[in-house]
């Protein structure tokens, strides 16, 4: 099978490929010509390792992510399961009210599970979620990290709130369903997280 580019971004290319007879996705980090070659390789290896670790830990705690088949630190490639599902971004606006509500609650539940273990996704948008056989998968942990900071957890949710307002503006209230799922499953104090989101919004408004 000839490799097919599914997406090309500033930091990585996403390719459809094969691995041991399976159709897979390769996430290949892009080398930066402006960086010293050795430093660039170290950064690529470090970020590839961190993303793979976050994905593996997310799966262990019950958040659905693609299976990882291979990690090539030297070339910055993660080979993972291909999910022939739908991006939530592409289907959320056409779903029935009850299914849309259920999916949004599932999103909140999954984010809470991540935050319970101090995992920050870093780019939670409906573009980075796939619905496959009625299961919600999170993809692209490239900007992720681990931290106990409430502010960073609030930023994670704020990114999603802005995604709802821009991509799903007619259903922006669905973010409340996300928060319902989050509050029911977050083991910390969800009120602190929500207050911090409000602070982030105010800082952005008066900057």
Residues of the chain with CATH 1.10.510.10: 86-205
Non-local CB neighbours of 128 within 8 Å, separated by 6+ positions: 121, 138, 139, 140
Set 40, 118, 123, 180: catalytic member? 123
Right CATH for 4-81 from 3.40.50.300, 3.40.50.150, 3.30.200.20, 2.60.40.1180: 3.30.200.20
CATH code matching the domain that covers 86-205, chosen among 3.30.450.20, 1.10.510.10, 2.60.120.260, 3.40.50.300? 1.10.510.10
Q: Is 118 a catalytic residue?
A: no
Residues of the chain below pLDDT 70: 1, 205-207
Q: Write the Ramachandran bin of 26: left for phi over 0, alpha for psi from -120 to 50, otherwise beta.
A: beta
| Closest residue by Cα to residue 89 from 78, 105, 100 | 100
Residue intervals in the chain for CATH 3.30.200.20:
4-81
| Torsion angles phi and psi, residue 164, rounded to 5 | -65, -40
pLDDT digits (tens, 9 = 90+) for 25-79: 999 999 888 888 899 999 999 999 999 999 999 999 999 999 999 999 999 999 9
| Diameter of the chain measured on Cα atoms | 55
Q: What global pTM score does this model have?
A: 0.93
């Amino acid at each position: 099978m000839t490799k097919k580019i599914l997406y090309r971004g500033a930091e990585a290319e996403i390719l459809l490929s094969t691995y041991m007879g399976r159709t897979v996705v390769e996430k290949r980090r892009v080398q930066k010509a402006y960086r010293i070659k050795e430093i660039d390789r170290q950064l690529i290896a470090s970020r590839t390792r961190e993303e793979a670790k976050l994905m593996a830990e997310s799966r262990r705690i019950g958040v659905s992510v693609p299976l990882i088949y291979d990690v090539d630190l030297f070339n910055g490639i993660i080979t993972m399961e291909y999910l022939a599902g739908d991006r939530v971004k592409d289907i959320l606006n056409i779903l029935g009210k009850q299914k849309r509500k259920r999916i949004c609650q599932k999103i909140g539940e999954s984010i809470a599970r991540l935050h319970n273990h101090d995992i920050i996704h870093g780019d939670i948008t409906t573009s980075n979620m796939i619905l496959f056989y009625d299961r919600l998968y999170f993809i692209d942990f490239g900007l992720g990290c681990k931290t106990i900071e409430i502010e960073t957890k609030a930023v994670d949710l704020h990114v999603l709130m802005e995604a709802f307002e821009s991509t799903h503006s007619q259903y922006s209230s669905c973010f409340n369903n996300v928060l319902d799922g989050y509050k029911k499953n977050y083991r910390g104090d969800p009120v602190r997280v929500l207050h911090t989101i409000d602070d982030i919004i105010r800082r952005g408004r008066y900057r």
